[in-house]
Structure 1
């Protein structure tokens, strides 16, 4: 992009990551209000993601975490958030930078955001409509994962549809 163009796509991504930061900072202070809960998927291969080795082995590309009933010690800073989550009765601390987040969904209010990387944009043109969050099953059928179930009624905004 040249200096005489405004990079609206990256500016929108920065603004939406700021929104996520503000929401998480509020939750860190006061807890989750009402029925709010979050499905957050992120790139586990991002260089600044900090997760247990067994989690990165199990989820080498991405994973979705749920912040609802049990999470502890949520800390939010300008670059990302740290939280302790329970995996099969085993607490695990993790750090997720905002620029590693791929989706953020709060199904209680039908809200969702999808971030697509520049690399993915170079491989294929971003779709006009957001794609559902799903993982293919081995039998060839598409099986909904937890994030898709949460986002079925949620509006997912694909910010890359605004890029050139």
Structure 2
């Protein structure tokens, strides 16, 4: 038995369960009303399965949109597979829930973000060397011709 309750991991598991439930319902019944999803995932996760050309274009993370055209949505306890259209080319994808970084349904202003947590040891080392780092991260550089989608406009103030 541990000395404390790991609320962070419990919450992540519950949020991933919510995504699993929503996608399972969509796989059975389709998207209701104006609902649609932006899902950002880590393409470096070893269990992600995407075409080589997609991985080359999105070497770190990728955002997919589940809205107008998708097929073969299958959901398991570990992740989901789906076929999406990229420039009139259907591509199958497999995304494990552990790779999901954000899940947003802008039609109802709902979103989940999974934060990565460094170990306490890493944080202590960083603070000891230079003190807390207050500099903002550098913005990401655009990747080729991909459309950049900002999720900020769906966040509540």
Structure 1 length-normalised TM: 0.77
Check conservation: 2:142, 2:148, Cα contact below 8 A. Answer: no
Gaps of 5+ in 2: 128-138
Deviation, structure 1 residue 32: 0.2
Give the equivalent residue in structure 1 for 2:154.
Answer: 153
Residue 109 (structure 1) aligned with residue 108 (structure 2): yes
Gaps of 5+ in 1: 126-133, 139-143, 157-164
Q: Relative to structure 1, is the Cα distance of residues 40 and 155 closer, same or farther in structure 2, using a 3 angstrom cutoff? A: farther
Give the equivalent residue in structure 1 for 2:133.
Answer: none
Q: How does 1:3-82 map to 2 (within 5 A)?
A: 3-82=2-81
Deviation, structure 1 residue 135: 4.1
RMSD: 2.7
Deviation, structure 1 residue 155: 4.4
Deviation, structure 1 residue 137: 5.7
* Distance (whole Å) between structure 2 residues aligned to residue 112 and residue 41 of structure 1: 11
Give the equivalent residue in structure 2 for 1:88.
Answer: 87
* Distance (whole Å) between structure 2 residues aligned to residue 120 and residue 86 of structure 1: 39
Deviation, structure 1 residue 117: 1.7
Deviation, structure 1 residue 70: 0.7
Structure number with higher strand proportion? 1
* Distance (whole Å) between structure 2 residues aligned to residue 51 and residue 100 of structure 1: 13
After TM superposition, the runs of 4+ consecutive aligned structure 1 residues lying more than 3 A away are 119-125, 134-138
